[in-house]
Amino acid sequence: SHIQHIRNFCIIAHIDHGKSTLSDRIIEKTRTVEQRKMKEQFLDSMDIERERGITIKSASVRINYQAKNGTKYIFNLIDTPGHVDFNYEVSRSLAACEGALLVIDATQGMRAQTLANFFLAMENNLSILPVINKIDLPAADIPMVTKQIVNELGLEEESIVPISAKSGIGVDDLLEKIIDFIPIPSRKEPQEEKLQALIFDSFYDNFRGVVLCIRVFSGSISERERVKLFFSGKEYITEEVGHLKIERVKCHQLTEGEVGYVMLGIRSINEVRVGDTITSAQSPCAKPLPGYREVKPMVFSGVFPIDSNQYEDLQVAVDKLKLNDSSLYYEKDNSGALGFGYRCGFLGLLHMEVFQERIEREFNVPVLLTSPSVRYRVYLKKDPENYIVVDNPSKLPDPSNIIKIEEPYMSVNIITPNTYLGNVMQLVQDRRGVQKNLRYLDQVQVECTFEIPLGEVVFDFYDKLKSLSKGYASMDYDLADYRSNDIVKVEILVNKEPVDALSFMVHREHAVHRSRSILEKLKDEIPRHMFQIPLQAAIGSNIIARQTISAIRKDVTAKCYGGDISRKRKLLEKQKEGKKKMKSFGSVSIPQTAFINILKDR
Ligand code: GTP
């Protein structure tokens, strides 16, 4: 393949603006896979992704395209994950391309992720081809979106391609435009002749181990060649190289400008990092490719099996999920109340929810996730210059030894129709946010920037934002810095026993309010027992809120009049079933649903 005839690009868009539909249409129009096969391929890949309408795992497809003038081209369409939690992965996928199709829904216009992705693409010096999608819809407003593209993004009106990814209108023109608009592949370092390839994605194959998706910037990589990873420092012999055409297709060599995969016989995904550079072991390139970063988990939670007999099943599940998810962090954990489990770190709440869903659905292990926490920096009296990192409220040292606690802040970017601006402001204020910037994108859409403690965004901020804006507001976030605040740990005591799964860190001003709402919910969630149960919230030994669950006196089976044995048995069996989904804390049983409901909205 000649480098002049290669085009490497990705599609970036806000969620639901049509990225997947357009990729499918391009693949179909270029007959990259037969239609029937295509449905199967895409459907069985990842149910959860499909159902939630988000792309988690990225991939790349090599497409043969014959232009109208007869010339044959190779398009490498590189997929990018579609959620803010996966920003680093997105930026590495973009770095593998020369250009991006920026897809904007004609009925919605610009959204927070349109902008976020646009800036990521700009940072990577990509040529950005604006595409207005869904022009088949009656509500499509092409002039409005055109205006936004020209005024807000500073792109040329002439370059805009209006399409309907669904019906196929305009897609042929788009394919032709890609050839002219997306630059021919170029090196990152013009003088570099040695192998320099970027790892932009990785996945796990049960039989072959880790498969690395790479973009060759200079030099070439062949089978049975000794290579080296720059940041990890490790050396390997390449087992196989090839192209990604949905299936893997082996070849002998990948050369400058090409995109493909390489297998190095690596068995653990932890051994490689997306963003690392592959070079030759014998004659390495001078410098690694830019942009490499260690991704750090932001949200932490304890993960425990509801049934403690399932600890080993949980272990298997976590190990398996980890194979394909290098951003997942975990270590063994042991809780007084919950027994053996794991402490896990996630990129964000969505990442955490997907993880929980997969454990329960794919491995059939119902789990309980403890109150999510962020990473605090805690300064202790005995060593005031340095901080320790605490991501688990139950590991917080005694407050009398603490000088100060710093919490992470996010810079949050929200785009909303102005009708909901008041609601958004209120939400941000409730979450200790500070407004930084506000501007109108057009007559209706407002973009505002806030700084908010991460601890306030990780719970239900996004859901709240969606509901108070009837689904119209969108957001994007990024870590800003750490700031010192009056953070305290609140413990929840059930029948005088602290339930560590419910402990949480909070700003002192919000402690009473939050505690009250948790206790109220807990009161509804815990069934009455034979005795009275006090519920308390405490900061240290100081009780700041309380509730009481009163006792029941009657036996559950009393209403069966003793006579009807089968009915009695049924009732007892039903009770037993209910108990399975309960967790015992001392003499009190708390249903699994209680934790979820309490942690979900506060
Ligand atoms: P994520 O994967 O969640 O980022 O979404 P996406 O951007 O890939 O959007 P997707 O392709 O899943 O499309 C979202 C919805 O819009 C789907 O219901 C599509 O059928 C619909 N859709 C996509 N393109 C068009 C179009 O051109 N016209 C119409 N009418 N609907 C479209």
What is the SS3 assignment for 541-570? CEEEEEEEECCCCCCHHHHHCCCCHHHHHH
How far is the CA of 433 from the CAs of 338, 405, 425, in angstroms? 34, 18, 9
Task: Report phi then psi at 89, rounded to 5.
Answer: -60, -40
For the beta carbon of residue 553, count every other beta carbon within 10 angstroms. 8
Ligand 1 atom closest to 83 (CA): 4
Q: Taking a C-beta distance cutoff of 8 angstroms, is the pair 506, 371 a contact?
A: no
Q: What is the pLDDT of residue 57?
A: 45
Give me the residues of the chain with pLDDT under 50, please. Answer: 35-36, 40-41, 43-58, 558, 560-562, 578-580, 602
Is 109 labelled as part of a ligand binding site?
no
Q: What is the pLDDT of residue 370?
A: 85
For a ligand 1 pocket test, name from 58, 166, 350 the mutation site with the most ligand atoms within 8 angstroms of its C-beta.
Answer: 166
Is 205 labelled as part of a ligand binding site?
no
Residue type, 384: P
Q: What is the pLDDT of residue 565?
A: 55
For the beta carbon of residue 527, count every other beta carbon within 10 angstroms. 15
**Distance, CA 127 to ligand 1 centroid (Å)?**
23
Q: Residue 130 burial (CB < 10 Å; 0-12/13-18/19+)? A: buried
For a ligand 1 pocket test, name from 11, 20, 26, 27 the mutation site with the most ligand atoms within 8 angstroms of its C-beta.
Answer: 20
Is 18 labelled as part of a ligand binding site?
yes
Ligand 1 atom closest to 55 (CA): 2
For a ligand 1 pocket test, name from 10, 11, 16, 104 the mutation site with the most ligand atoms within 8 angstroms of its C-beta.
Answer: 16
- Tell me whether 0.90 is exceeded by the ipTM: yes
DSSP 8-state class, residue 17:
S
Closest by CA position to 404, among listed 385, 420, 419: 385
508-525 and 592-600 helices, crossing angle to 10°: 150
C-alpha span between 314 and 328 (Å, rounded): 15
Rounded to 5 degrees, what angle do the CA atoms 221, 213, 258 make? 50
How far is the CA of 27 from the CAs of 22, 34, 100, in angstroms? 9, 9, 16
Q: Which CB contacts under 8 angstroms, 24+ apart, belong to 260-263?
A: 260/62, 260/213, 260/214, 260/216, 261/211, 261/212, 261/213, 261/214, 262/197, 262/211, 262/212, 262/214, 262/221, 262/227, 262/238, 263/208, 263/209, 263/210, 263/211, 263/212, 263/238, 263/239
Q: What is the pLDDT of residue 53?
A: 38
Place of tokens 């089968």: 566
Closest by CA position to 99, among listed 202, 207, 174: 174
Cα 67 from chain centroid (whole Å)? 37
DSSP 8-state class, residue 326:
T
Q: What is the pLDDT of residue 44?
A: 40
For the chain, report the end-to-end CA distance as a whole number of angstroms.
Answer: 58
Is 20 labelled as part of a ligand binding site?
yes
Closest by CA position to 215, among listed 192, 179, 183, 241: 241
Closest by CA position to 309, among listed 382, 230, 366: 366
Is 257 labelled as part of a ligand binding site?
no
Is 14 labelled as part of a ligand binding site?
yes
* Positive/negative CA dihedral, 215, 220, 221, 226: negative
For the beta carbon of residue 533, count every other beta carbon within 10 angstroms. 20
Closest residue to atom 3 of ligand 1, CA basis: 54
Q: Taking a C-beta distance cutoff of 8 angstroms, is the pair 299, 330 a contact?
A: no
Q: What is the pLDDT of residue 230?
A: 92
**Distance, CA 20 to ligand 1 centroid (Å)?**
7
pTM of the complete model = 0.75
3-state secondary structure of 165: coil
Ligand 1 atom closest to 164 (CA): 27
Closest residue to atom 22 of ligand 1, CA basis: 18
**Distance, CA 133 to ligand 1 centroid (Å)?**
9
Ligand 1 atom closest to 15 (CA): 4
- Ligand 1 contacts (CB < 6 A) are 13, 15-21, 53-55, 82, 133-134, 136-137, 164-166
* Positive/negative CA dihedral, 274, 27, 108, 430: negative
What is the SS3 assignment for 232-254? CCCEEECCEEEEEECEEEEECEE
